[in-house]
Structure 1
Amino acid sequence: MNIRFPRTRFCVAVAIVAICGENLTAHQHDSHHALANGQTAVGIVFEDINANGVRDEDEPGLANIKVSNGKHIVKTDQQGKYSLPVTDDTILFVIKPRNWMTPVDSDNLPQFYYIHKPNGSPKDFQYPGVEPTGPLPESVDFPLTRRNEPDQFKALLFGDTQPRNIKEVEYMAHDVIEQIIAEDGHGASFGVTLGDIVFDDLSVMPPLNQAIALIGIPWYNVIGNHDINYDAPNDRLSDETFESHYGPNYYSFDHGPTHFLVLDDVTWVAKHDGQRAHYHGGLGEDQLTFIRNDLAMIPEDQLVVLMMHIPLQNVDDRQDLYRLIEKRPATVSISAHTHYMEHVLIGDEDGWQGPKPHHHIINVTVCGSWWRGQPDERGIPHATMSDGAPNGYSIMSFDGQNYSLEFRAASRPAEHQMNIYLPEQAASSDLATTVAIANVFAADANTQCQIRVNDADWSDMDAIRIEDPAYVRAKQVEEALPERTWIDLPKPHATPHMFRGMLPTHLPAGTHRIEVKAVFADGREIIDHRIMRVE
């Protein structure tokens, strides 16, 4: 049952629990200032047995549950009580532990936080933020309900849904949401949108949330550069509308044996001293402090998944983050933002000092190329990304320290994992120079590709970085059409998941089946084929 957790909760009991000495020392000045002004939040994390969002007499407090104010992290005592300093702009949140779940609202958005903004968000912003929350409640409580979370599970990953308006929300609903519903959510336990939830118009967030909610699983959100208040005078106030819908701009949670860190790596710089307003990739000191405190409480051998919007190699203070994760044996990070799919191995060339390169995934985007391109028979732009891959989403599977990623193309069967490019027909005398090209959408540096004709032996293909030839042609054809009513495709870019292979120099005249097989590092294989005639 979906319930909305009331963001203001009043309880009679007032309890103060000492903050972890290490965390308090790290921010002694801020915490003492908050305490000196009487700004100390107290509350209880409890088992919500009847899932009504209210602590009843028979519902016990839960010990050793982590609660944060965005800097400090404390654990509840044996009675489930915690205490944290707050300012007049603080979001308190519980860090969901394994085998427990927070309430979700009617849009399946997890309600794991309490916003404390006594005066609310600035009123002169184009898009509204948080209404005044008033005085700090006597007790800020967090309900949790039991849920079994096995070692093996799946999550859905959306990059850049990014609708400009309701019409583009409908594109997404028909192109992606209906497909996921038809496949019963792919058995995923939860989903995440990796930023650019909308495209500047923040009023589109509610209808978008309603569409994604139809999938029927809890849905977490990362903030992107198109999800911020552009009229904010500084970075701190740029997240007000996002916070009103989704809560804290960075946080963490556990699911099964895996720890997830949701990060805000978008830094907003308002117009000043003749410099135009802009954003850049950055985490900031407060968030890095939270990450440091968070990881200090995570076992070294636990898989840590970092989710962000801007790719990690474009974040200014990434070296500080590298120092926090590079010695851990199991980490992976995921972003979106670029509107193409790529696996990046971050090594010493970028200052990474870990024993092996860090795997960073730039995820496929739901909107593809910003819902650009000629509409199909349904009126939906084909939105092919600049790497030649279709728009879509990913299914990520987890099992202990192991993980794998499956690409899913929008409105296509699961088997659609590559495009193969060959001439429709070739003269037998030209076979020595006839090249087969395969765009394997989710291939990484460790993916091996092979080709064969009919049932002959497989031969290796070479990894190359070129523009997708079909994408180049499609863009040229579309832009030659008069009176276009759609937005033109973006420029193609050299794609890292392309492979080239040669056909046998001698083939008999007739029709032949050309097969391409891609083998991923985890042993998973995909095979596709194309038919070509030899004259």
Structure 2
Amino acid sequence: MKRKDFFKLFGFAATGLALPPLATKAAVNEQSLQQPVKPVTVTGKVIANGKGIAGVAVTDGTSIVLTDKNGNYTLEAAAGAEFVYISLPAGYAFPNEKKMATFYKTIDTKTENFVADFTLEKLTVDDSKHCFVVWADTQMISEKDVELLKTQSVPDLQQLVESYPTGTLFHGIGCGDLVWDKFELFKGYKEAIAATGVTFFNVIGNHDMDIKTARTDEWSAETFKKEFGPTYYSFNRGKIHYVVLDDVFFIGTAKKYIGYITENQLSWLEQDLKNVSKGSTVVVSLHIPTDTGAARRYKKEAELGSNVSNREQLYKILADYKVHFMSGHTHFNDVWEKENMMEHNHGTVCGAWWTGPVCGDGTPSGYGVYEVDGNELTWYYKSTGLPKEHQVTVFEKGRSKDYPDEIIANVWNWDSKWKVEWFEDGAAKGAMEQRVAFDPLAVELYSGPELPKKHKFVEPTLADHIFFAKPSAGAKEIEVKVTDRFGKVYSVKKKLA
């Protein structure tokens, strides 16, 4: 597939740089394989204010045990296990180091017995109400990109948090591709997160993998784990159970990967969910979306790296819960809902790789904001540098070469429960017509071999959330009114003459 077509179909951040030669075997990998690691007995305690916390899940990524009534646990860690970590319980503050969540300890594999205690702090407020944000694809390739993250995205999140009542609980999810293969920029990412004042949990993306040194997927997350800890884990806040999964599977050559969740993770998830009441809400964050509408829009078969190949197995495990998937990777916004599941495939913090103000589908650079009340989530998309009321972009006649006589509305966070209506000189004209189409601004900024100058591989991408209407010849003003699934109304007026 031609590079332009590849990006056009999936909005991938996969290449744009020359592919390196096949990776050689890393010395550390060979050494580790030659020296089998013995199982380690891990013991410890989970405490708060000097008292043990009962029923906390403790894991090595393979098996899970619960702390006893005094907060004690014993875990026979599997051979080769790198971490012991807890599923942070509801009602407690998230421990962190400069706003990076710290819920794990690195196991000393040179000893047969390892002690790992976890100290938590009891919250003074009810966490059944809280908020979280999803930052998808910060994806910096240069220090200039890091500076944009720090000077644009960080202040925007700070202002968002300040707009809520004092004491509102917030956490963040860095939804993968934290950097763009430049691991030295993890430092800048961490500095930016620290400046937000919000504790973040992080997801590994395809651009966060050791694809130049690893020979298999098993070794592709070594750098990420040194920086952020385990690549799959869970935590709790209020009545919501949060799960983070690693669905980027490196196939051992160049920069190639597929969307795939390993059996070890699926088995671990089955155990993890045994401690979660059926019918409750589970938020699952992963980098590659489980599914999107991209293949349908382009009438082509989806590439293996565009969604999770074994997603049906994941869906079966989650069948007894109300599930929200949080994903990134595509650099477009796409929302779907089916039975007990809903996926929020987010527009990106970096937009179209820090080249302009919108993603390839016209979604503004930004992030998802989620408000939790008990088991229920409400949400909106926050455009960087714009008020949170900005939920639709309206284009006047002539902005689209394909539809020159029509006005166009891009409602990027649209789902099937939204309404998109229009008015002409105050008269209601009914629903706008939904089509699979390109966003006019994205076409102006990114279409063609010479645009954008910074990353010429960027192209506009087809979207479902584009709406059309044809005003009368003598119309003087039109208004587009959109109503989201929660009943919130947003409107934009445009003068035609």
Q: State the secondary structure of the residue aligned to 1:179.
A: helix
| Contact 1:71–1:286 (8 Å) recurs in 2 | yes
Confirm or deny that 1:447 pairs with 2:422: no
| Contact 1:369–1:489 (8 Å) recurs in 2 | no
Confirm or deny that 1:42 pairs with 2:43: yes
Aligned-residue offset at 1:446: 2.3
Confirm or deny that 1:435 pairs with 2:436: no
2:396 to 398, 417, 422: 422
1:246 alignment partner in structure 2: 228
Mark the CA change 1:265 to 1:185 in structure 2 (over 3 Å): closer, same or farther.
farther
Confirm or deny that 1:525 pairs with 2:489: yes
Q: For 2:407 and 2:199, locate their aligned partners in 1 and report how far apart those are by CA, in whole Å.
A: 43
Mark the CA change 1:234 to 1:479 in structure 2 (over 3 Å): closer, same or farther.
closer
Q: For 2:90 and 2:270, locate their aligned partners in 1 and report how far apart those are by CA, in whole Å.
A: 20
Mark the CA change 1:95 to 1:408 in structure 2 (over 3 Å): closer, same or farther.
same
AA in 2 matched with 1:321: L
Q: For 1:470 and 1:363, locate their aligned partners in 2 and report how far apart those are by CA, in whole Å.
A: 19
Percent identical residues: 27
Aligned-residue offset at 1:478: 9.5
AA in 2 matched with 1:360: E
1:25 alignment partner in structure 2: none
Where in structure 2 are the equivalents of 1:4-403 lying within 5 Å?
39-47=40-48, 49=49, 59-86=50-77, 87-105=79-97, 107-116=98-107, 118=109, 134-135=110-111, 138-147=114-123, 148-184=125-161, 187=164, 189-230=170-211, 231-271=213-253, 276=254, 278-313=256-291, 314-328=307-321, 330-346=322-338, 356=339, 358-372=341-355, 382-403=356-377
Where in structure 2 are the equivalents of 1:484-503 lying within 5 Å?
486-488=454-456, 490-503=458-471
Q: State the secondary structure of the residue aligned to 1:529.
A: strand
Aligned-residue offset at 1:400: 2.5
| Contact 1:149–1:255 (8 Å) recurs in 2 | no
Mark the CA change 1:283 to 1:477 in structure 2 (over 3 Å): closer, same or farther.
closer
Q: For 2:108 and 2:367, locate their aligned partners in 1 and report how far apart those are by CA, in whole Å.
A: 35
AA in 1 matched with 2:382: R
Q: State the secondary structure of the residue aligned to 2:149.
A: helix
Q: For 2:255 and 2:390, locate their aligned partners in 1 and report how far apart those are by CA, in whole Å.
A: 41
Q: For 2:447 and 2:325, locate their aligned partners in 1 and report how far apart those are by CA, in whole Å.
A: 35
When normalised by structure 1's length, the TM-score is: 0.77
Q: State the secondary structure of the residue aligned to 2:100.
A: coil
Q: State the secondary structure of the residue aligned to 1:245.
A: helix
| Contact 2:326–2:344 (8 Å) recurs in 1 | yes
Aligned-residue offset at 1:138: 4.2
Q: For 1:335 and 1:95, locate their aligned partners in 2 and report how far apart those are by CA, in whole Å.
A: 21
Which consecutive unaligned segments of at least 5 residues does structure 1 have?
1-35, 50-58, 119-133, 347-355, 373-381, 426-432
| Contact 2:61–2:81 (8 Å) recurs in 1 | no
| Contact 1:303–1:400 (8 Å) recurs in 2 | no
User: Which is higher, the Rg of structure 1 or of structure 2?
Assistant: 1
Mark the CA change 1:137 to 1:163 in structure 2 (over 3 Å): closer, same or farther.
farther
Aligned-residue offset at 1:236: 1.7
Aligned-residue offset at 1:344: 2.3
Q: For 2:127 and 2:425, locate their aligned partners in 1 and report how far apart those are by CA, in whole Å.
A: 43
Q: For 2:114 and 2:398, locate their aligned partners in 1 and report how far apart those are by CA, in whole Å.
A: 74
Aligned residue pair count:
436
| Contact 1:175–1:410 (8 Å) recurs in 2 | yes
AA in 1 matched with 2:275: M
AA in 2 matched with 1:315: V
Q: For 1:447 and 1:79, locate their aligned partners in 2 and report how far apart those are by CA, in whole Å.
A: 50
Mark the CA change 1:213 to 1:513 in structure 2 (over 3 Å): closer, same or farther.
farther
Aligned-residue offset at 1:457: 2.7
Q: For 2:39 and 2:203, locate their aligned partners in 1 and report how far apart those are by CA, in whole Å.
A: 32
Residues 59-97 of structure 1: CA distance to partner in whole angstroms, max 9, x if unpaired? 122111111111211111112111112223331111111
Aligned-residue offset at 1:163: 0.4
Residues 444-481 of structure 1: CA distance to partner in whole angstroms, max 9, x if unpaired? 1222100013432352112211111232133359937x
1:515 alignment partner in structure 2: 479
RMSD of aligned residue pairs (Cα, Å): 2.3
Q: For 1:385 and 1:113, locate their aligned partners in 2 and report how far apart those are by CA, in whole Å.
A: 35
| Contact 1:367–1:391 (8 Å) recurs in 2 | yes
Q: For 2:449 and 2:156, locate their aligned partners in 1 and report how far apart those are by CA, in whole Å.
A: 27
Q: For 1:525 and 1:117, locate their aligned partners in 2 and report how far apart those are by CA, in whole Å.
A: 55
